[in-house]
A and B are shown apart, each in its own frame.
Chain A
Amino acid sequence: MSAGGPGGEAHGGVAPGKIIAFGVLGGLIGIYGAHFLSIINPAFSFIGALGAICAIVWGADAVRRVCSYGLGTGVPSIGMIALGMGVIASLFGLAVGGIAGPIVALIAASIIGLVIGLLANKVLGMNIPIMEKSMVEIGGAGALAIVGLSTTMAGTFMFDEVLALVVAPGYIAVIFIAGGMGILHPFNACLGPDEEQDRTLAVGFEKGAIAMIIAGIVSMVISTTAAIPAIMIGVFIWYISFAKFYELTKRDAYKVLGTGLLPTEEELQ
């Protein structure tokens, strides 16, 4: 998008390992929880979207780490490639994996991510130290976000149902873009030398919640019982994370003013 990346390793905040564990475990638990509990009652399908939020936050953090190496205009592109890898891997995983579908999807996405990371660094010569690792993470996060949101929409991750209820009616398009924007937008929105991890990830939660609300709206096609919890919990998470983001904005900004003139020359010195 624009200039202003710090051009070095991302600093501070929660360690990458913890976020990766949060994304992978949260994503998989959410997806499997939604799949099995939806058999008891469709109202539980919202858990899949909670898993997707974990994956989106993980993806946003991975984007943050790799894009801190000065990838200003590359931030949106990297979000789109995340979901590009994710769509291929998740459809492949769900088609061949059966009950292990989400795990196969995660592994397939990681492999595609590794290949793209190697191509970017070795062939295109981008020479970003963490490129391969980050692309593996971004691909995995994209795949889990897609499977998680699909599970909420369809109430299951079984391939035939996902194909009939998510892919054929075209809802896969909104999963692709809402998931992709959830991953790319947080760092793109907070890009700048004074970016902070907690503020960026608050946007990740907030955008994940929007994807959850949309998945809830789509699940109306299956049953209103499934839609209401997903929409209401989504709105709740959105509100909490937006309030947190605004609080952190007030903490980090130079000044949050109701209105005012521009800073004076003396003030800028």
Chain B
Amino acid sequence: MEPLIGMGVLALMGAAATVAGASEDLESDVGSQSNPNSQVQLAPQMMYPHRIYNKAISGEPPSNALMCAVGGTVATVLMSAYNMSPVFAIAMGALLAAIVHGTYSVTAFFGRPTSQKRFKQPVYLDILWSHTPVIMGYSYITTFCILVISYLMVAVLGHPFPLPLLAFIWGIAIGAVGSSTGDVHYGAEREFQSVEFGAGLNAANSGNIVRKGESGLRNGFDNSWFCAKFGGPVTGIAFGMVVFLSGWVTTVFDPARGDAIGWLSVIAGALLVLIMILWNRKIEVAARAAYGPYKEDEVAA
């Protein structure tokens, strides 16, 4: 393949991945999933009942893998059995995936608060009716973008894996990136907005999440509104970089052109990882210098 076409496809994949990353994180924030959900789950037990969606489907990687694998499977069936156009098949696959994801969200929403009967946590149906379509909407966008990436890899870049398997793997990857990148913004910043920045989570604050909003009682929409300012986009950039840079090294240094060039791609990949480790360290040190030291340290000093 022409290197320029390869770079163009890669750019498209990177753009789709950026959108997918942002929507994945905001989807997990509306419903409260993954790590920050531990505190949502704990809150009623600590006498803090709330009106936040408790979407304990599983960790983000398995639930996103399910969405994407279902979408990839349906799209492949429509393309292979009925010769449908890829765009239509991918759209239909993403639609069914969003519906399946919606049912998983609903069972978790009903199941968790109901099992907290002794802590008097009510099940609010208006939260279900208002939040579930939004969760499904975000999951549609995520699945659609992941299927675009997977389809481009199979159809244009000639990847040997079938579409459902690639979609499954990218589903796990986006769940992992969303969980590790975006969760911090929702879990540490939004749920504990009442404590000082950088204070960490003191054991005494466990479950004491912010339950009152800018107007009325806080819910998942308020959280996704907040996270859309930073957590969502930064997750999108992180996942976009994962997709773009991991493809970039083998597009520029194509192993098909010889072993030596293949090794160059490995070296380029290792260099990128090294640069990012150093860069991240610098950001962390700069943030500590600007906003720290922590309160405990001041007291000790």
Contact = CB atoms under 8 A, between A and B. Distances in A.
Contacts of B47: 268
Contact of B38 (A3, A190, A253): A3
A3 B117 CA distance: 15
Contact of B63 (A173, A181, A207): A181
B100 A210 contact: yes
B120 interface: yes
A169 B66 CA distance: 17
A177 B111 contact: no
A199 B72 CA distance: 31
Given A1-B37, A4-B42, A268 B73 contact: no
Interface in A183-209: 184-186, 188-196, 199-200, 203, 206-207
Interface residues of B, number: 62
A221 interface: yes
Contact of A267 (B41, B70, B114, B120): B120
Contact of A174 (B112, B113, B114, B164): B164
A261 interface: yes
Interface string A163-179: 00000111111101110
B115 A220 contact: no
A43 B116 CA distance: 44
Contacts of B77: 217-218, 220-221
Contacts of B118: 193-194
Nearest to A193: B118
Contact of B62 (A4, A181, A252): A181
26 contacts: A1-B37, A3-B41, A3-B45, A169-B164, A170-B73, A170-B162, A172-B165, A173-B168, A177-B66, A189-B108, A190-B112, A191-B41, A192-B114, A194-B116, A200-B111, A207-B107, A210-B103, A218-B77, A238-B103, A253-B110, A254-B123, A257-B124, A259-B124, A262-B50, A267-B120, A268-B120
The 3 closest A-B pairs by CB, nearest first: A192-B115, A170-B162, A189-B111
Given A76-B58, A249-B114, A254-B119, 19 more contacts: A1-B38, A1-B56, A1-B58, A170-B72, A178-B69, A184-B58, A186-B107, A188-B108, A189-B57, A189-B112, A192-B114, A210-B100, A218-B77, A254-B120, A254-B121, A254-B123, A256-B125, A262-B211, A267-B120
Interface of B: 34, 37-38, 40-42, 45, 47, 49-51, 56-59, 62-63, 65-66, 69-70, 72-74, 76-77, 80-82, 96, 100, 103-104, 107-108, 110-126, 161-168, 211, 217
